[in-house]
Each structure stands twice: as structure tokens, then as C-alpha cells.
Amino acid sequence: MRIMSNNIHEDIEKLLEEDVFMKIRDVIVMRFGVQQSRVHNALRFDELGAETLDVVEVAMEVEDIFDIRFRSSTAASFKTIGDVVSEVTQLLSAK
């Protein structure tokens, strides 16, 4: 059983971040054909052989999944899976 902290907002944000990660992980697995166990927040897109266009296409797919919009400069600047997870979590928390 998961132990919750005394701050419910931190708990909710952590659960949101975990859910966001799992959905983005699924996108990465499908697009790049890697195993789920290989995908983690510190994984760099260049380690997947991704070029800038690949990263932008991932960002567009993520936008559709979460019904959000990245600034155009943000999508092209993602270097790691964690960058995407953080930005999505932040945008969803602001809704």
C-alpha cells in the first residue's frame, strides 16, 4: 500500500506525474519500438535515435492525448522523457 504524505496536493501531483509518465512511455514504446523497461525520465531522445522532427511529432501526439498545447519553442527543446513529463504535468496542473 502506498503511504501518502501529509500534503494532499503533493500526493495528487505525484500521482498525476506517474500517470503522465505511463502515457508518454506508451507513446515512446510505440513510436521507437523500445521495451517499456528501457523508458525512464532520464532517457534522452537522442539515445532513441530521435531527430528534432521526431521529438516534435512526439510532442504533437502528447498534446492530442492530454488535450494541451505546448509553446512551439518548448516542443523543440525537449531533450529527455522527463522534460516532456514535467511540462505536461505543469500544464495539466494549471488547468
pLDDT tops 80 at residue 2: no
Distance CA 70, CA 62 (A): 10
For 69, the grid coordinates are: 498545447
Can you say whether the dihedral through the CA atoms of 87, 53, 39, 29 is positive or negative? positive
Closest CA to 29 of 39, 42, 43, 15: 39
Segment 31-84, tens digit of pLDDT: 999 999 999 999 999 999 999 999 999 999 999 999 999 988 888 899 999 999
Nearest Cα neighbor of 88 from 14, 31, 29, 21 is 21
Cell of 80: 529527455
